[in-house]
Copies of this chain bind each other. A is one copy, B any other.
Amino acid sequence: MLDLAVLGLLKEGDLHGYELNKRLKSLVGGYSTSFGALYPALARLERRGWVSSMAVAPELVVDDETAEPARKNRRRSTKSKSGRTRKVYHITEAGESYLLELLQEDANNERRFRLQLAFCRFLPPDRRLALFELRRAHLVSLQAMARRDPVQSTDPYVRSLFERDQERLEHDLAWLDRLIADERANRPQEPKTDDRHNSI
């Protein structure tokens, strides 16, 4: 699942591992300071041809673009701070199509859906809507299951837990429905079935 997160972030621009980790931390709560997962993942992604890497010497860090440089160190050389040579990763074409696949997978996994949502802007609108509907179907089936066999326990803590689950499900469904409604509203120019062919 890290694959999805990493490819999604790299799709926006080249990054090195350390920076990726920081973005992961802020963008998608959960994938925190786990270099022990990130670096092996990057190595694997490269072996499979989904990303390519380039060693960049510390001196070359300098801001050509958006990054906010340290203003304090004007007196020092143009060198931006960087302890050692970094490996900057770049998503390949194969990586991009793999990302599109990952974005459309299952949706029965809470954590994965989180990531899919975080990067669903890279999907074509119809696929994005399909993803939302898939997730919705999953939540509805969970709700149906919960209703079919309700809590048999008389323990107040267990009951409270299950009540919270129900409320959370309802809340999530309402939220998803808003997402879906917005999605439909933003592209009303598709009254008929899609006539494009998708190869992925």
Contact = CB atoms under 8 A, between A and B. Distances in A.
A168 B171 contact: yes
B164 A175 contact: yes
27 contacts: A26-B149, A26-B152, A27-B153, A27-B158, A29-B165, A114-B161, A117-B157, A117-B158, A117-B160, A117-B161, A118-B155, A118-B157, A118-B161, A120-B157, A121-B155, A121-B157, A156-B182, A157-B179, A160-B175, A160-B178, A160-B179, A164-B175, A167-B171, A167-B175, A168-B168, A168-B171, A171-B171
Contact of A158 (B118, B164, B165): B118
A68 B155 CA distance: 21
Interface of A: 26-27, 29, 114, 117-118, 120-121, 146, 149, 152-153, 155-158, 160-161, 164-165, 167-168, 171-172, 175, 178-179, 182
Given A118-B155, A156-B182, A167-B171, 9 more contacts: A26-B149, A29-B165, A117-B161, A118-B158, A120-B157, A157-B179, A160-B178, A168-B171, A171-B171
Contacts of A157: 117-118, 120-121, 179
Contacts of A165: 29
A42 B22 CA distance: 39
Contacts of A160: 117, 175, 178-179
A167 to B, nearest CB: 7
A172 B167 CA distance: 10
Contacts of A182: 156
Nearest to A29: B165
Contacts of A171: 167-168, 171
A115 to B, nearest CB: 10
A114 to B, nearest CB: 7
A129 B29 CA distance: 28
Nearest to A146: B29
